[in-house]
Amino acid sequence: MPDINIGQQGTLKSTPKLTRINGDDAMALIYRNMGNNHAYPFIWSETVTVASGAAEVTVISGVKFHGMEAATYCNVTATPASDAGDEHWVEKDTVNNVIKVKVGSSVSADTNFDVIVMVGMDPDVATIACRGNTGARQMLP
């Protein structure tokens, strides 16, 4: 990304690519409009429940987005809606393409977790070119 402005030379300037994103009225979902009646969800949330006596609950299993497996390319955050009683974590099984919320030991009662899923690889924030108040300059050849 450091070469993001490389095409802006002389009097001709490249136009930034616009992405149309939409929210859904009925679901906690933001999706990218790909045109031609194709949509691609990239941020959504849901509530999952770890049942009494269980140690895990599956959030996503076998899902792919444009050939990218969810367990490899999704960032998942799970927050207990009430006291979970133990530690919890998100486990990604990239071999079987499964994402689960796990608890440290069996929970004593049904515990709800608010889960946020974001599709995309982890960014290297240091390489993102910006023009904020950081004193960053355009990178021209």
Which tens digits make up the pLDDT trace of 84-129?
A: 666 889 999 999 999 999 988 767 778 899 999 998 877 777 766 6
pLDDT digits (tens, 9 = 90+) for 38-65: 777 888 899 999 888 888 899 999 998 8
Sign of CA dihedral 63, 115, 119, 38: positive
Global pTM value: 0.69
List of long-range contacts for 81-86, beta carbons under 8 Å, 24+ apart? 81/47, 81/111, 81/112, 81/113, 81/114, 82/111, 82/112, 84/50, 84/111, 84/113, 85/111
Would you kindly state where each structural domain of the chain is located, as residue ranges? 45-121
Distance CA 113, CA 106 (A): 15
How many Å separate Cα 85 from the centre of its chain?
26
